Structure 1
Amino acid sequence: MILENTTFDELDPGASFEHRRVCTLDDLYVFAAVSGNHNPMHLPDDSDESELPVASGIWCSSLISAVLGNYLPGPGTLYHSQALNFVGRVHAGDEVLIRVTVKTKHADGTVTLDTEVRDLATDTLVVQGEVVVIAPTRKITFDDAGLPGLVVQRHRHFSALIRKAEPLPPLVTAVICPEETESLEGALLAARRKIITPILVGNRDKILQAAAQLNEHISEFEMVHAEGEAAAAIAGVDLVTAGRAGTIMKGHLHTDILLRAALRKTGGLRRGRRFTHTFVMDVPGVAHPLLVTDAAINIAPDLMTKVDIVQNAIDLAISMGIETPRVGVLSAVELVNPAIVSSMDAALLSKMADRGQIKGGLVEGPLAMDNAVDPVAARSKGIKSMVAGHAEVLVVPDLDAGNMLVKQLTFMAGAEAAGVVLGASVPIILTSRADDAMSRLASCAVAAIHQARLTDDKRGLV
């Protein structure tokens, strides 16, 4: 947008400018981050989304500053003084009208303007006052197109999943080797939120030492002593097969050791499908959770393995509340090319879903990443489907592609990632040492939600 000022000589008393603006939740997050004012009155309450936060009065006054600096007098304007009365409140979602009016010009180059902010829905004053500015004396034109955009890393999808899991009965979880602070802290955080009831499996002394470092008391939780990662993994799986635990959670041990215990032909957690991994991604700016599969277990899956990868992800998405998941099977191109194996597999998976060999979701492929998630890109390529541009599940060609995609979303787009292994008799909570507390908590929530639906299915309640 091209901005052009009105100089001191051009200003006339009575000249006025109006601007409209909607207060959004992201505005309040940005204001809190920039100002350092973290007053909970001005921030959303994740436990009650119906309670809309109140915008800070200074945020409202900044809207006046924006009109002064952008429009009247415009670029080159400097503040001299300001007097405001805050007579009303703005909530997230409200649309306001900001009006500034030239009142008096002074010989020293300053200008007094009347200012106000009104709530348009009720036509009531929110802010009223007077400002004195040093008006620009030379013409300035400014193109603000080069200003960098901001992405608010607000993980509302994870917050919603956690809220959905909290009313469920806590899922008894065998936590394998929570022998250092990060892995133990994640389990304890989920326990405090009543999402899981942990059974701590591993070296007792190391677990107690980790608890001491966190200044946490863990005497209320059952502890099963096991020496070494392999023994702890087997002990945790045995708790599930004995009916004493509803899932297992990875602590401070190698993933392959945990999965080896779960995959035992006798006493393991097999149920006829391949074990596959699904990341549930909370990507800022994306209106829904994004599932990426398989980026952690199956290195170079063949077609039949991909069938299980897709079906497991669909089942999880349904558990999360996505009624008919839209699955985009990714390749480098959106056209079937016999020289690109992933495009052939994608086309076959799409047709298998059409014929009912994959159930519960809409499967479309091959799709390139852009036209899988962006409707404009899909339209530009002439792709007409209910999935293209709106995919909620992304099926990657192999582990390399999936791992790169997840890390790009995490480190370049500010996404959070929760991870679970599917295809076993129970979901397996698979966390990484790099995961923060929100990721670990969300992983537990996803597993609890999915296991609750699996249990209801067995009881015939779904």
Structure 2
Amino acid sequence: MADDAMIENKTFDEIRIGDRASLTRRLDEKDIQLFALVSGDVNPAVLDSAYAATDMFRHVIAHGMWGGGLISAVLGTELPGPGAIYLSQSLRFTRPVGLGDTITASVTVTEKRAEHHVVVLDCRCANQNGEDVILGEAEVKAPTQKVRRPRATLPDVRLSDHDRYRRLIDKTAGGEPVATAVAHPCSAAALLAAIEAAEANLIVPILVGPEAKIRQAAEEAGKDISFLRLVAADHSHDAAGKAVALVRAGEAKLLMKGSLHTDELMGAIVPSATGLRTERRISHAYIMDVPGHPTPLIITDAAINIAPTLEEKADIVRNAIDLAHVIEIETPKVAILSAVETVNSDMQSTLDAAALCKMADRGQITGGVLDGPLAFDNAISEAAAKEKGIASPVAGKAEILIVPNLEAGNMLAKQLTFLGGADAAGIVLGARVPIILTSRADSLRTRLASCAVAVLMARAATKAAPGVTQAASA
């Protein structure tokens, strides 16, 4: 076994005055998050990256982590090493430590006391510029028995920080909030979703529904809605129709689902004469933020199209590619999923996948790179794709996953959410305006991300055709 895979101590008799050991680490955001997780300290000054890296509280946290942590690591693994017993530690913080700083922690033996085998060490932490940031002294009881053993393997700790959603929301900063018709926000959760998005400067909600129920929901949520426009409706069906009418009249640029059923809202959207249909098939997409996965995953369709035909799947792909462009995926890699990665005449999903890829080859679907059929593993794992001998620009690197049917999409999204810790921001595409679908189970982060995506799409449509609604351009 290589020497760097082993850990060996220095006994009291082996230690000499002037002996020195050190290690170097870089302080990043996840170190701060791990500290908060272990300590239970959720002060925003620690966790919110919007706070300046020079915030004094963050400096104190960094000093504590790295002074107590790095120095302790040197003492426990290098000098004296395994078997050492910490007796005391003093630290003096001489200079701030910021995110991105590279800190070298070192200890130097200054004194030995034969009684009780005590060793005194000078402790020092310096930044990448050689400037001292921590000074101190430690007393340890050195081991008397020699120890040499394999280094322990640290656990793989993954933090579900969902930073991609924060970046999505950040992209909306600086723009005007978008007028949004909220259909039947008659529960505290539904109303909160709209108000939180308004407080984040994403939307200007127009509340559509029975006035008494909306005001009761506001009271339950503890929110003031006096500053919001309220359009009275008799019931949920009427609220859906009136919300759609506001969009058709140009008074709202987005539509948001409240506490009514999705089917009821879609019933008001799909009629050609009075709804929000375009030449495109309407479809649903989740933008999944999956911990540990390097990019967002767009999964479609998990909520609207039960068993889409080949032509419907083509529109579902087009809608997803348009969405990917809005979130700045320039040429999205689109995997057409099935249970296998070869064409099988007994499996319609594999035939559809092959046909969709040929449609892309012939220019019927543009803006992305398609491949399929692909099984889920070789769509997102390069190792799995290589094991199967699949050579493809999409395999292992997919950014859009097109599922065979609603059941598969719904199960995939929920498995990633409830087993994989993913967040799922939902949006309906292909209508005259983006439609925001939120759930009572959604976190604030997910609700805001759904609204942010819709706002980005609405702004992109306005830039593409200034003064023209998405309906006219579709």
| TM-score computed with the length of structure 1 as normaliser | 0.93
Match for residue 352 of structure 2 among 329, 345, 348: 345
SS at match of 1:80: strand
Match for residue 402 of structure 1 among 405, 409, 416: 409
- TM-fit CA distance, 1:264: 1.5
SS at match of 1:274: coil
- TM-fit CA distance, 1:110: 2.5
SS at match of 1:291: strand
SS at match of 1:271: coil
Structure 1 pair 125–234 and aligned structure 2 pair: CA distance change class (3 A): same
- TM-fit CA distance, 1:453: 1.1
Structure 1 pair 182–4 and aligned structure 2 pair: CA distance change class (3 A): farther
Query: Residue 5 of structure 1 aligns with which residue?
Result: 9
SS at match of 1:384: coil
- Choose 45-54 or 57-66, whichever is displaced more: 45-54
Query: Residue 135 of structure 1 aligns with which residue?
Result: 142
Question: Is 1:58 matched with 2:61?
Answer: no
Using the alignment, how far apart are the partners of 1:117 and 1:49 within structure 2? 19
Percent identity for Structure 1 against Structure 2: 48
Question: Is 1:441 matched with 2:444?
Answer: no
Match for residue 21 of structure 2 among 17, 26, 38: 17
Using the alignment, how far apart are the partners of 2:55 and 2:316 within structure 1? 39
Using the alignment, how far apart are the partners of 1:335 and 1:116 within structure 2? 61
Using the alignment, how far apart are the partners of 1:10 and 1:332 within structure 2? 63
Query: Residue 421 of structure 1 aligns with which residue?
Result: 428
Match for residue 356 of structure 1 among 357, 363, 367: 363
Query: Residue 115 of structure 1 aligns with which residue?
Result: 123
Question: How far does the alpha carbon of each residue in 1:52-80 deviate from its partner, in whole angstroms, 9 at most, with x for none?
Answer: 96562101111111222233323333321
* Equivalent residue letter for 1:409: L
Using the alignment, how far apart are the partners of 2:55 and 2:40 within structure 1? 22
Structure 1 pair 49–246 and aligned structure 2 pair: CA distance change class (3 A): farther
Contact 1:177 1:229 in 2 (8 A): yes
* Equivalent residue letter for 2:27: C
Query: Residue 34 of structure 1 aligns with which residue?
Result: 38
Q: How many residues align?
A: 460
- Choose 352-361 or 100-109, whichever is displaced more: 100-109
Using the alignment, how far apart are the partners of 2:10 and 2:377 within structure 1? 43
Question: Is 1:327 matched with 2:322?
Answer: no
Contact 1:75 1:142 in 2 (8 A): no
Structure 1 pair 48–161 and aligned structure 2 pair: CA distance change class (3 A): farther
Query: Residue 161 of structure 1 aligns with which residue?
Result: 168
Using the alignment, how far apart are the partners of 2:9 and 2:329 within structure 1? 50
- TM-fit CA distance, 1:39: 4.6
Using the alignment, how far apart are the partners of 2:308 and 2:8 within structure 1? 59
| TM-score computed with the length of structure 2 as normaliser | 0.90
Gaps of 5+ in 1: none
Question: How far does the alpha carbon of each residue in 1:236-282 deviate from its partner, in whole angstroms, 9 at most, with x for none?
Answer: 11111111111211111111111011012321011011111000112
Question: Is 1:253 matched with 2:260?
Answer: yes
Contact 1:18 1:98 in 2 (8 A): yes
